[in-house]
C-alpha cells in the first residue's frame, strides 16, 4: 500500500493558479497573502457518506460537491473564493475512488478558480472536510444579521430540485423512467450531485443586498437563520417560489413547495434587497442573464415566517443532530 | 436529541478574545483581519479515534490534543497562532463526551491564546478536524526547504516519551506500576495525551533558524522531510538525542533511541541554525529557561541521514497509508 505522502503527491498536489499563494501543499503550513483592504472569509463543511450524499454517489460528484458547498458559503458572504484545504479520512487506499474524487475536486477548483493549498489524509471512516477561504471588503460582506424592515426577499435559480433528486437517488423509480421523464429525473439528480455555487450572482448581489445566506437546509430553516440574526420576520409569497420545469413536471405544486421549503442541498442564494434598490438590482441581473425571483419581504414580526394568506410557516429543515 | 445549532451554541460558541475577529461562529463564514505586512499561515490536522489516540482517551485530552497538534504546525512555521475552526463528526449526541471535549479544547485555546471562529458538526464516525490559522512575517517563516550546508540541527525538549506512553496506553503494564515507576508511566502517557506545542520556543527559534519542522512522525521521518525539501543530508549524533528522566528510567538506551527515531507524537521542534548563530541562539533560549539540544549537522549528502559512526539511518516513522 502506498504511503500518505505518495497519496498527496499523486492526487492532490496541483500547482497554484491564482495570486497570493507563497507556499502551498508540503510544508507545516501554507502561506497566503490577503489583499490589502480585504478581510479573510473562512468557512468549513464536512461531507459524510450516507448523510450528505447517497452512498452510491460517484466519487467525482463527491469531489465536486465537497468544494461547491464550501464555495457556496463564500458566495453567501459576498466573498471572492480563493483557496481551500482538504482533510480526507478514508478507510482504505482505493485508487479508483481517489482518481474519481480527485478529478471532480480539481474540476470544481478550476470551475471556481480556487487553489488547494494544504490538507491532511488519515485512515478511518470516510469523512471529507473542506475549508474554504476567500477575500471580501468589509463593505461588501453580506451578514445574516443585516436584513432590514421592508427589504425584498429574493432567491436565485430554482428551489426543491435537489430534494426531489435525493428522493429519486434513494428510491429506484428512476430506473423505469424513459424519455422526457428520464431527463427530468436526471436533471434533479444532477442538481443534487453537482450543485453550482452562485459565485457569479454573488458579485452582483453584494453590490445591492443587505443580508444573504445559501439555501442548504431548506428555504424555511435558512430564512429563519436570517430572521433570528436580524431580529425581524418575513412574509413569503409561496406562489412566487421558483420551480424548475423538471420539478413542476414530476410533482404536483404541494410537493414542489414541500421540497423547496424543507428540502436541502439547493445551494441557491437567499438574500434581502432594500426596496429602492430592487429595480437596479433586477436590471443588473437580467443584463447578465442571471435568474432571480422576489418571493416576499421583511417584516418587524420577530422571527415569524408567514405566507401571503397569513398562515404561519414553521421551519422543519434538515438538522444533523 | 438536541439539534446541530444547539450543540454549537452550547459547547463551542465562545466569545473571541484576541484581535482581528470581525465575525465569528454563526454566519456563512467568519471574517478575519490579517495584520499588515503579515502572511496568513494555515494548517489542518485530523484526529481519528484509535489511530491518533487510543480509543479510551479522555475526551478532555482529545480536545486539548486536537488543538495542540495544529498549534504545533504554527510553531514549526514560525507563525503566531491566532484562530481555528473545528469540523466535528460524531456518531451521537453524547453530553458527557461533548462536555469533556469542549473543556479540553477551550483549555488549549486559552493556553495558546487562539480563538475558535467557525466550524461544522456532522453525524458519522468520530473524526475531529482542526484548521489552525496564524500570522507570520515573510522573513520569519521557517520553511522546510531552508536548511543549509553546515547548519546545526537542534531539537527542543525530549524525544520518545509519547511513543513510550502509547505503548503503555495500549498495554496494561501501567496498572501494576506504583511509586516512582507509576510516576514515570504517568509522565509518558501525559506526554502522549497532552502534548505542548512549542509556541514559546518558536518565538526565539524564528529569529535564528533556517528550517524547522515539528516532530509528529518520529525524528527520522520528519528530518527526512527537511532534507528532501532542502536537498541536503544530515549527520545525527544519536548519543546527543535528549531523553527524559522518565523514559531513561523505564527503558534501556536502545529502546529510548528507537522510540525517539521512529515513534510519533512528540510535537517537539526540529530545526537548523547557522553555525555562527548558535551561541546567540543557545544564550537566548537559556535566558528564558527553554530547553534545546544540538544533535547533529546538515551535510551535502543529499537526503541521507547517517549517525556519528557513519551508519545509514532509515526513516520508518508512522505513515497513515
Number of domains into which chain A is organized: 2
Q: Are residues A160 and A280 in the same domain?
A: yes
Residue B16 lies in a domain: yes
The reply to whether B161 sits in an annotated binding site is no
Q: Are residues A97 and A173 in the same domain?
A: no
Non-local CB neighbours of B252 within 8 Å, separated by 6+ positions: none
pLDDT at A49 over 80: yes
Q: Are residues B167 and B282 in the same domain?
A: yes
Q: Are residues B183 and B292 in the same domain?
A: yes
Give CA separation, A74 vs A214, A215, A277, in Å.
9, 13, 23
Cell numbers 449526541 label which residue? B93
Residue B318 lies in a domain: no
| Domain-terminating residue out of B136, B159, B188 | B136
Residue B237 lies in a domain: yes
Expressed in percent and rounded to 5, the helix, strand and coil fractions of chain A are 40, 25, 35
Beta carbons within 10 angstroms of residue B129's beta carbon: 32
Non-local CB neighbours of B152 within 8 Å, separated by 6+ positions: B272, B273, B274, B275, B278, B294, B296, B297, B298
Q: Which residues of A touch B131 (CB under 8 A)?
A: 44, 85, 87, 131
Q: Are residues B50 and B164 in the same domain?
A: no
Closest approach of B309 to chain A, Cα-based (Å):
30
Q: How far apart are CA A250 and CA A57, in angstroms?
A: 22
Q: How far apart are CA A189 and CA A183, in angstroms?
A: 10
Q: How far apart are CA A28 and CA A48, in angstroms?
A: 26
Q: Is A124 close to B127, i.e. CB distance below 8 A?
A: yes
Residue A320 lies in a domain: no
What pLDDT does B1 receive? 34
Residue B320 lies in a domain: no
pLDDT digits (tens, 9 = 90+) for A241-291: 999 999 999 999 999 999 999 998 999 999 999 999 999 999 999 999 999
pLDDT digits (tens, 9 = 90+) for A176-212: 677 888 999 999 999 999 999 999 999 999 999 999 9
Q: Are residues A100 and A176 in the same domain?
A: no
pLDDT above 90: percentage of residues in chain A: 70
What are the residue ranges in chain B where pLDDT is below 70?
Answer: 1-5, 172-176, 315-321
Annotated binding-site residue numbers of A for ATP:
119-120, 144, 216
B193: containing domain: 144-313
Contact B83, B117 (CB under 8 A): yes
Residue A318 lies in a domain: no
Q: Are residues A171 and A239 in the same domain?
A: yes
Q: Are residues B108 and B184 in the same domain?
A: no
> Which CATH number goes with the domain that contains A91?
3.30.1330.10
Helix orientation angle between B161-170 and B179-193, rounded to the nearest 10 degrees? 110
pLDDT digits (tens, 9 = 90+) for B1-38: 346 667 777 888 887 777 778 777 778 888 999 999 99
Q: Are residues B121 and B158 in the same domain?
A: no
| Domain-terminating residue out of A75, A102, A136 | A136
Best residue of B25, B28, B51 to probe chain A, by most A CBs closer than 10 Å: B28
Q: Are residues A158 and A291 in the same domain?
A: yes
- When the pLDDT of each residue in chain A is averaged and rounded to a whole number, the result is 90
Q: Are residues B129 and B151 in the same domain?
A: no
Best residue of A8, A22, A42, A87 to probe chain B, by most B CBs closer than 10 Å: A42
Contact A48, B121 (CB under 8 A): no
The region, left, alpha or beta by phi > 0 then psi within -120 to 50, assigned to residue A173 is: alpha
Q: How far apart are CA A161 and CA A285, in angstroms?
A: 22
pLDDT digits (tens, 9 = 90+) for A110-119: 999 999 998 8
Q: Is A321 close to B121, i.e. CB distance below 8 A?
A: yes
What pLDDT does B84 receive? 95
Q: Is B29 close to A39, i.e. CB distance below 8 A?
A: no
Residue B64 lies in a domain: yes
Nearest to A44 among B41, B47, B118 (CB): B118
| Domain-terminating residue out of A136, A168, A185 | A136
What pLDDT does B311 receive? 86
Q: Which residues of B touch A118 (CB under 8 A)?
A: 42-44
Q: In what order do the strands lie in the sheet with A292-299?
A: A212-215, A268-273, A152-156, A292-299, A233-236, A305-307, A312-313
Residue B321 lies in a domain: no
Q: Which residues of B touch A44 (CB under 8 A)?
A: 85-87, 118-120, 129, 131
Q: Which residues of A touch B27 (CB under 8 A)?
A: 77, 143-145, 229
Higher pLDDT, A28 or B251: B251
Q: Are residues A130 and A152 in the same domain?
A: no
What pLDDT does B175 receive? 58
Q: Which residues of B touch A121 (CB under 8 A)?
A: 320-321
> Which CATH number goes with the domain that contains A264?
3.90.650.10
CA angle B26, B27, B31 (to 5 degrees): 105
Amino acid at each position: 500500500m502506498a504511503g500518505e505522502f505518495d497519496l498527496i503527491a499523486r492526487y492532490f498536489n496541483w500547482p497554484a493558479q491564482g495570486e497570493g499563494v507563497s507556499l502551498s501543499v508540503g510544508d507545516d503550513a501554507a502561506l497566503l497573502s490577503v489583499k490589502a483592504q480585504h478581510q479573510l472569509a473562512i468557512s468549513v463543511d464536512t461531507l459524510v457518506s450516507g448523510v450528505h450524499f447517497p452512498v452510491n454517489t460517484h466519487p467525482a460528484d463527491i469531489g465536486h460537491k465537497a468544494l461547491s458547498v464550501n464555495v457556496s458559503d463564500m458566495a453567501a458572504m459576498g466573498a471572492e473564493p480563493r483557496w481551500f484545504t482538504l482533510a480526507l479520512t478514508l478507510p482504505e487506499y482505493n485508487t479508483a475512488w481517489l482518481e474519481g474524487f480527485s478529478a471532480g475536486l480539481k474540476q470544481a477548483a478550476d470551475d471556481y478558480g480556487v487553489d488547494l493549498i494544504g490538507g491532511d489524509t488519515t485512515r478511518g471512516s470516510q469523512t471529507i472536510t473542506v475549508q474554504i477561504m476567500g477575500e471580501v471588503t468589509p463593505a461588501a460582506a453580506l451578514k445574516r444579521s443585516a436584513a432590514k424592515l421592508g427589504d425584498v426577499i429574493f432567491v436565485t435559480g430554482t428551489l426543491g430540485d435537489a430534494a426531489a433528486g435525493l428522493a429519486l437517488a434513494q428510491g429506484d423509480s428512476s430506473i423505469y423512467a424513459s424519455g422526457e421523464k428520464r431527463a427530468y429525473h436526471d436533471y434533479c439528480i444532477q442538481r443534487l450531485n453537482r450543485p453550482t455555487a452562485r459565485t457569479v450572482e454573488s458579485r452582483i448581489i453584494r453590490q445591492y443586498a443587505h443580508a444573504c445566506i445559501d439555501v442548504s437546509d431548506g428555504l424555511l430553516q435558512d430564512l429563519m437563520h436570517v430572521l433570528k440574526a436580524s431580529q425581524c420576520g418575513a412574509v413569503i409569497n409561496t406562489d412566487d417560489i421558483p420551480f424548475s420545469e423538471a420539478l413542476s413536471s414530476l410533482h404536483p405544486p404541494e410537493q414542489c413547495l414541500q421540497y423547496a421549503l424543507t428540502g436541502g442541498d439547493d445551494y441557491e442564494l437567499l438574500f434581502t434587497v432594500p426596496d429602492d434598490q430592487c429595480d437596479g438590482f433586477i436590471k443588473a441581473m437580467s443584463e447578465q442573464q442571471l435568474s432571480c425571483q422576489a418571493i416576499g419581504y421583511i417584516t418587524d414580526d420577530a422571527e415569524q415566517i408567514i405566507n401571503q394568506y397569513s398562515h404561519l410557516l414553521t421551519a422543519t429543515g434538515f438538522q444533523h443532530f
